[in-house]
Structure 1
Amino acid sequence: MNQRFDFAFSPAYRLPARAFGINPDTAWVQVAGGYLTARFGPWRLRTSVDNVVSTDVTGDYWWLKTVGPPHLSLRDRGVSMATNRDRGLCVRFELPVRALDPTGTIRHPGATFTVADPEGLAAAIADEQDRSD
Structure 2
Amino acid sequence: MTTQRFEFAFDRRYRIAGLPFGVLPATTWVEVGDGRLRSRFGWWRLETSLDNVAHVETSGGYSFVKTAGPPHLSFSDRGVTFATNGERGVCVAFHDPVPAIDPTGRIRHPGATFTVADPEAFVVALQVP
The TM-score by the shorter chain falls in which range? over 0.9
Partner of 2:58: 57
Ranges in structure 2 where 5+ consecutive residues have no aligned partner: none
TM-score in terms of structure 2 length: 0.97
Further displaced range: 117-126 or 80-89: 117-126
Q: Does 1:81 align with 2:82?
A: yes
Partner of 1:98: 99
Q: Deviations over 1:99-119 (max 9, x none)?
A: 011211100000000000111
Secondary structure of 2:21 counterpart: coil
Secondary structure of 1:92 counterpart: strand
d(CA) in 2 for partners of 1:90 and 1:68?
18
Q: Deviations over 1:42-66 (max 9, x none)?
A: 1000000000000010000011000
d(CA) in 1 for partners of 2:25 and 2:64?
19
Q: Deviations over 1:59-101 (max 9, x none)?
A: 0001100000000000000000000000000000000000011
Q: Does 1:124 align with 2:129?
A: no
Partner of 2:45: 44
| C-alpha deviation, 1:125, in angstroms | 1.4
d(CA) in 2 for partners of 1:43 and 1:2?
20
Partner of 1:3: 4
d(CA) in 2 for partners of 1:25 and 1:13?
14
Secondary structure of 1:19 counterpart: helix
Question: Matched residues, percent identical?
Answer: 56
TM-score in terms of structure 1 length: 0.94
Q: Name segments (4+ residues, structure 1) moved above 3 Å.
A: none
Q: How many residues align?
A: 128
Q: CA RMSD in A?
A: 0.9
| C-alpha deviation, 1:18, in angstroms | 1.1
